[in-house]
Amino acid sequence: MTQPTTYGTVTKLFHWLTAALILAIIPLGIIASDMAYDTNAQLAQKALLFSLHKTLGVTVFIVALLRILWALGHAKPGPLHPERKAETLLAETVHWLLYTALVITPLTGWIGHAATTGFAPIWWPFGQSLPFVPKSEAVSHLFASLHWVFGKVMIAALILHIAGAIKHAVIDRDATLRRMWFGRVSGPETGYHRTPVAAPLMAALIVVVSGGVALALSGGTEERQATAALEQVASDWTVQDGTLGITVTQFGNTVQGSFADWTAAIAFNPDAEGKAGQVDVTVAIGSLTLGSVTDQAMGADFFNVADFPTATFSAPIKKTTDGYIAEGTLTLKGQTAPISLPFTLALDGDTATMQGSTTLNRMDYAIGTSMGDESNLAFDVAVDVALTATRAD
């Protein structure tokens, strides 16, 4: 049972564990954000710090929830200066604000992480996804903005909390800070404390305003290199819908992405033996979405979309014993290399549905040359194509 002159041992353990975690994750996040990642070693170090920051952030979320549940079920000693009503109200407001930020800040970061794929995994054995959180760059950006704003709220509340503790220790010279340290503390019996209703209301108002600021910031997504406008192409078969996806492996984890804008000129005769047609594809590189590493992928060392806005694939279509294959060349980032794309085809009258997969070596196209080994980024990139096309009249 908590004594009126001091806090209980469990409360103290929660308090100092939370303090240690917060004082670790704040500098980790700042340092990781400011780090360059021009080389393999720099990227690995940046990812390591971010993974540590995220993993400790999830720990903070769990500890904060447990601490709040414990606090709700256990009374705490009252203020040593109850006559200072304004000061007491401010202290209570900061406490409630800090409690709230300790839950919202890591939670929004966790949701933002779960909504995307790629860089810096969380090390807890929960997986990288969360229930009811879709893989969506819009969702990720929204919660990243919330995480950033509430992180600032948490830091502000923490500074005020520390300033209050120092004021009590240095100016008032009372036992406020000592009551949260271990061991018995002699002092006046203040009785058990009830939080004034105004304190959580004021904290809630600050949270609502901060959330509004975050929502406003979430509308300003970073500008990306303009996607090349592709001209319409004449084709014997018109693509009605389809996906052009890639999968890369970074730090041992797969990151899936897709190109939103591409054209295909298809000449195809399903009754032909041997050569059955021809396909010519143009891809707008700037339309790629690749999880949390999309912007990095657009950079000079990778796709270099500023200088090479499109890629082209040209190949004859040949019939095989178990399907079809398009054997031709892919020109990407100014480099041309042969590739083979085996695929299956289902025909229903004038409608054709195809699915195919192949694997490219990124080094053949001078992509990620600064990462000359596979310690951070694997050489192999999986390409998956699926489309439905109809025969032109």
Q: Give the tens place of pLDDT for each residue, 235-246.
A: 999 999 999 999
Strand ranges (DSSP E) for the chain?
237-250, 253-259, 262-268, 275-284, 288-289, 310-320, 323-332, 335-348, 351-361, 380-391
Residues 150 and 253 placed together within one structural domain of the fold: no
Q: Supply the range of the domain harboring residue 121.
A: 9-218
Q: Residue 83 domain-assigned?
A: yes
- Would you state the pLDDT for residue 190? 54
Whether residue 227 is contained in a domain is answered as no
Closest CA to 359 of 380, 330, 337, 329: 380
What pLDDT, in 10s, does the model give residues 165-219?
A: 999 889 988 888 888 888 766 555 555 555 667 777 888 888 888 888 877 777 6
| Domain stops at, among 188, 218, 248 | 218
Chain centroid, CA 14 distance in Å: 28
Q: What percent of the chain has pLDDT over 70?
A: 93
Same domain, 334 and 271: yes
Residue 201 and residue 333 in one domain? no
> What's the mean per-residue pLDDT of the chain?
88
- CATH number of the domain enclosing 145: 1.20.950
pTM as predicted: 0.78
Q: Are residues 213 and 242 in the same domain?
A: no
| Total domains present in the chain | 2
Q: State which amino acid sits at residue 25.
A: I
Please indicate, yes or no, whether residues 76 and 203 belong to a single structural domain of this protein.
yes
226 inside domain = no
